[in-house]
Every structure is written in structure tokens, then in C-alpha cells.
A and B are shown apart, each in its own frame.
Chain A
Amino acid sequence: MKHLTDDQYAEWLSGVSTQEALAHLEECPHCHGVATALRADITRYTLARRKQARQARVAHLAKDFVSQKAIASHRLRWAGVAALALLLAAPTAWMMRTAHAPEAPSPQVNVAGASGSSQPSHAMSDDELLEAVNNDLSREVPQALAPVSVITVARNKMAASAIAVNKTSSSQE
């Protein structure tokens, strides 16, 4: 009896066996045994490779997931640090900006206004400055209330002159 060839086993394993070969497989225990063993080997090998590939893919995906999570966590941490730095830097920057801003000119205006000059303070001589300060200090009322004081002075002068007129008229009588 002539057994099956490797080509015929390969065809049988690929599902394209001839009727003649199938008939032989049914009759010949040797060829049946070989074919069954070959199929078992290939099935075992196929399952092993599929499993190994699946495990490799799962491991790779897990590694990818972990690395992506680590990157996200890393970015989040840096975002937090950046926010904190901004939070600390903003008030400092504001304070520095305030410190470097040009000073309010009010005292100089006062002094300049008192001296009746529009020149900046550094243009005044020491004597002028001293005089302006003295004038400012010797005021009875603040500069803002100056018109009121003028009115008051004028009223006092009028009252004094009226009293003087009255005294004069009574003495004539």
C-alpha cells in the first residue's frame, strides 16, 4: 500500500484534499495517525503563537497606557507648578511695578503752586524752596480753603471799617 505524500498531507491540512486521498486516510491507520498528529502539532503551534502575540500586544498596550498616564501626570504636575509660580510672581510683579512707577507730584505741585511757579521742583533754588515751605507753613488755613479765608478777612476788614465809621460819627455828635 502506498502512503500519502507530504504534498497530499499539506493539501489535506489546507482542506483541498482529493477524494482519493480522503479515502486512503479512512482506510490506512498509519496515514490517519500521521495526519492527526500533524494537525495536532499545527493546532498547538497556532494556539501558542496566537496567545503569545495577544500577550505581547496586551503588554504593549498596557505599557503605552502607563507611559501616556505618566506623561499626563507629568504635564499636570508642571501645570500646577506653573500656576503656583504665576500666583507668586503676579503680586511681586505688581509690587515692583508700583515701586518703579513715577511718584505722585502732589507735594511738588503744592510747593510749586505756593511759589506761583510752574517749574519743576528741581529747577527751584534752595532759597525759593525754603520760602515756599515757609509760606506754606505760615498759612492759617490750608490752601484748599484759601478763598474762604480771603472772604473772612474781607468780612473782618469791612466790620472793622464799619465800627470805625460808627465811632467817628458818635464822637462828632
Chain B
Amino acid sequence: MEETLIIPAMSHRGWNGAEFDDVVREHQSRIYRVLWCELRDDEAAATLTQDCFLKAYRGRAEFRGDSSVQTWLVRIAINLARDYQRSRRHRFWRKLLGGNAKEAELATEMAEDNAPLADRALIARQQLERTMAAVATLSPQQRTVFHLRFIEELSLEEVATTMGIEIGTVKSHLSRAVKALRQQRNEP
């Protein structure tokens, strides 16, 4: 695990600028990654990361401390990403630029990194492309749940709190993701 998952929220109401700077430093990398995985857009992820912390700072008095700071921040980030995805501009650029070329490039790069042998590299690349294709078939909410659980390593409860859904729904989304992955492998 890269970062501390939970920081005490005891003095959240009294966060001053310096204390909030610490929160930003501790979580900005994760928030950027969450946003990037949601949007697959460097600039948008960076902008929304700033927006996320700005929103968190403005709304710090509303943070009740029921969940961890991380869960609270990730929830803000996910909401920002959703708003962004809803915007027409994003749809337009997404259609215009497309993401397939980048995906294939990344798959090749990752496969080369992880497998020194040509055959293994090829297999790994194909597997990664297949997984990416499977994840791409998920609905936005299913994909977000999948990312939060496996990329961010949040627990099922944390994912549920972050997304504002029941744990049962989280499990259902993960089950759908497993099904998609198995279908891509042509498993029964």
C-alpha cells in the first residue's frame, strides 16, 4: 500500500491552512490517480484534483468524521469526475480523441516491462488488452467500484461509503466485473 489509508479526523473542524496542506500532501497522489482512472485525461485529472481539495477545504466544517478523510476526499473526487463526465465538452473530446491507441500503447509497454521474453511479452500484452476491454464494458458505476476496490484497495465498506451505495450493491458490481473478465477469457 502506497499511502496511509486512514488519518485521524479528530481536528477536522479546526483545520487551518497548514494542517490542510498536510492533508493535501498525503492524499493528492491518490486523488489524482482515482480521477485519472475515472477520466483517463491528464489535464482533467490535475484540474479536478485541485478542485477536489478546494471543495474539501470549503466544506471541511461539514465533514462529520463518520468516515476517514480518504473516503471523504475520494467521494468528492468521484462526484467531480461524474459531473465532468456528464459535461458535453468531455463527451465531445472523448469522441474526438478516442482512447484505444493509448490503451494498446500502454498494454505493450507494460507487457515489455513485466516479461523479458518475447512470447511472454506477447501473452501478457494480450491479457492486459483483454482485461482493459473487459473493464471498458462495465457501466461507469461498476467500473468505479472495480477501481476503488482493486486499484485503491479500499475495503467493501469504504467503497460503499464512498459511492453512497449498499455493500450488497458493491458486491454485485464486483461480481459483474468478474463475469466480464471471464467472458473476455471465453470461460463458461
Residues of A within 8 A of B (CB): 5-7, 9-11, 13-14, 16, 34, 37-38, 40-42, 44-54, 56-57, 59-60
A158 to B128, CA, bound (A): 130
Which A-chain residue is minimally distant from B147 (CB atoms)? A49
Residues of A within 8 A of B178 (CB): 6, 9-10, 13, 38
User: Smallest distance from the beta carbon of B122 to chain A beta carbons, Å?
Assistant: 14
Expressed in whole angstroms, the minimum distance between the Cβ of B120 and any Cβ of chain A is: 12
Chain B nearest CB, measured from A5 CB (Å): 8
Closest to B135 in A: A45
B131 within 8 A of A: yes
Interface of B toward A, CB cutoff 8 Å = 29, 32-33, 36-37, 42-43, 45-46, 106-107, 110, 114, 124, 127-128, 130-132, 135, 147, 149-151, 156, 171-172, 174-179, 181-182, 185, 187
Complex Cα distance, B37 from A54, in Å, reads 11
In the complex, what distance in Å separates the CA atom of A10 from the CA atom of B182? 12
Query: Which one of A11, A14, A41, A49 lies within 8 Å of B151 (CB-CB)?
Result: A49
A-B residue pairs in contact (CB < 8 Å), sample of 19: A6-B178, A6-B182, A9-B178, A13-B174, A14-B156, A44-B110, A45-B128, A45-B132, A47-B110, A47-B114, A48-B110, A53-B32, A56-B32, A56-B36, A56-B45, A57-B32, A57-B46, A60-B42, A60-B43
**In the complex, which residues of chain A have a beta carbon less than 8 angstroms from the beta carbon of B150?**
13, 42, 45-46
A-B interface pairs (CB < 8 A), number: 92
Could you tell me the dominant secondary structure of chain A's interface residues?
helix
CA distance A16 to B127 in the complex (A): 26
Q: With both chains docked as a complex, state the minimum distance between the C-beta of A39 and any C-beta of chain B, in angstroms.
A: 10
Compute how far the CA of A42 lies from the CA of B180 in the bound complex, rounded to whole angstroms.
Answer: 12
10 closest cross-chain pairs (CB), A and B = A10-B174, A53-B33, A53-B36, A56-B42, A10-B175, A45-B131, A48-B110, A7-B175, A41-B131, A6-B178
